[in-house]
């Protein structure tokens, strides 16, 4: 094995699908599956929205860890730079690939994400299937409602107040992570899963944690839709601005993009 491995200069359809299939393998049958299944035991039957943010973060660590394991074997940096470079190259491939390839990659990414959700929150694929697939019109309408709720004055005020009262220490990265966690907690408790009836219940996914997971599963079908991304991106910018995190988050994203471009 090379002492100084280098990542691919660009992704091909065959390589991208191979990376996605390998990631799915670790999640369905490997250490990822073990970690996600164990995580599902940390909440009572039906879930617990009070610990949802913590468990969601652990789920994402496992998911990204599986990705990094695969990407490391392809020569990518085994950290956030590797993820950033891969996502950058994947976006380039999606822009130039034929419609069949685009659909294959989109479905593979969606199915992997849904597998992660099912394992981490002990929901069967059959249970998710009962919800049915959203139309693009419904998905856009739902995300518009979500974005409007996220940007409502009471939510922005709650985030600003909670962050303002927060006393944090440690490295700048640690402080940023703690503040992002606080933002997620407000979004879960006051946007998605509360008050009664909760937003996820109003838009047809049922109450509580399972309603939130079903919402995330359904929206995975349209995560790359430009209008859905616009609604969510605009709302998150308002959220980060209220939390005083806009500049720090932008700088972090720019550093990751710059690092990915240099590696490429």
- pLDDT at position 4, please? 64
- Residues 160-165 have a mean pLDDT of 89
With tokens 């950033």, the residue in question is 84
Q: Are residues 50 and 160 in the same domain?
A: no
Q: The pTM is what?
A: 0.86
- Residues 149-170 have a mean pLDDT of 89
Q: Are residues 165 and 233 in the same domain?
A: yes
Read off the tokens for 134. Answer: 């959203």
Name the domain boundary from 91, 122, 153. Answer: 122
Read off the tokens for 192. Answer: 């998605």
Name the domain boundary from 62, 93, 122. Answer: 122
Distances (CA, A) of 88 to 19, 20, 78, 79, 259: 14, 15, 16, 15, 11
Q: Are residues 258 and 142 in the same domain?
A: yes
Q: Are residues 157 and 255 in the same domain?
A: yes
Task: Name the pLDDT band for 171 (thresholds 50, 70, 90).
Answer: confident
Judge whether residue 105 has pLDDT over 70. yes
- Residues 127-133 have a mean pLDDT of 84
Nearest to 172 by CA among 70, 89, 245, 257: 245
Q: Which domain holds residue 218?
A: 131-264
- Residues 39-65 have a mean pLDDT of 89
Read off the tokens for 2. Answer: 């090379």
Helix axes 99-121, 80-96, angle to 10 degrees: 140
Q: Are residues 118 and 140 in the same domain?
A: no
- pLDDT at position 50, please? 86
Handedness of CA 61, 67, 71, 73 (dihedral sign): positive
Query: Longest C-alpha distance within the chain, in Å?
Result: 57
Q: Are residues 74 and 191 in the same domain?
A: no
- Residues 101-119 have a mean pLDDT of 92
Least confident of 9-23, 169-183, 216-230: 169-183
Q: Are residues 150 and 259 in the same domain?
A: yes
- Residues 212-223 have a mean pLDDT of 92
- pLDDT at position 174, please? 82
The DSSP H or E segment spanning 120 is helix 99-121
Residues 6+ apart with CB under 8 A from 9: 264
pLDDT digits (tens, 9 = 90+) for 21-40: 999 999 999 999 999 999 99
- pLDDT at position 8, please? 84
SS3 41: coil
How many domains, in total, are found in the chain? 2
Name the domain boundary from 96, 122, 148. Answer: 122
Distance of alpha carbon 93 from alpha carbon 62, whole angstroms: 26
- Beta carbons within 10 angstroms of residue 146's beta carbon: 22
- pLDDT at position 89, please? 93
Q: Are residues 109 and 22 in the same domain?
A: yes
- pLDDT at position 111, please? 92
Share of the chain above pLDDT 70, in %: 91
Judge whether residue 46 has pLDDT over 90. no
- Residues 58-69 have a mean pLDDT of 95
């Amino acid at each position: 094995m090379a002492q100084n491995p280098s990542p691919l200069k660009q992704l091909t359809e065959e390589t991208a699908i191979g990376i996605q299939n390998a990631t799915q393998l670790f999640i369905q049958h490997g250490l990822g599956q073990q970690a996600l299944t164990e995580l599902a035991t940390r909440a009572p039957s039906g879930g617990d929205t009070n610990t949802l943010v913590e468990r969601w973060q652990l789920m994402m660590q496992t998911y990204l860890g599986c990705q990094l394991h695969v990407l490391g074997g392809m020569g990518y940096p085994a950290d956030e730079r590797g993820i950033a470079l891969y996502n950058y190259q994947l976006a380039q491939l999606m822009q130039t690939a034929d419609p069949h390839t685009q659909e294959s990659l989109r479905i593979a990414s969606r199915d992997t994400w849904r597998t992660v959700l099912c394992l981490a929150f002990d929901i069967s694929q059959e249970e998710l299937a009962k919800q049915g697939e959203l139309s693009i019109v419904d998905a856009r309408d739902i995300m518009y409602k979500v974005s409007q709720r996220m940007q409502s004055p009471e939510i922005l005020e709650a985030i600003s107040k909670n962050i303002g009262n927060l006393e944090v220490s440690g490295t700048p990265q640690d402080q940023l992570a703690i503040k992002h966690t606080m933002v997620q907690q407000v979004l879960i408790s006051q946007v998605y899963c509360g008050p009664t009836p909760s937003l996820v219940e109003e838009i047809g996914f049922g109450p509580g944690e399972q309603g939130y997971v079903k919402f995330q599963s359904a929206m995975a079908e349209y995560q790359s839709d430009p209008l859905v991304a616009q609604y969510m991106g605009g709302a998150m910018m308002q959220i980060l601005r209220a939390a005083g995190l806009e500049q720090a988050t932008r700088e972090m994203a720019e550093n990751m993009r710059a690092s990915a471009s240099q590696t490429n």
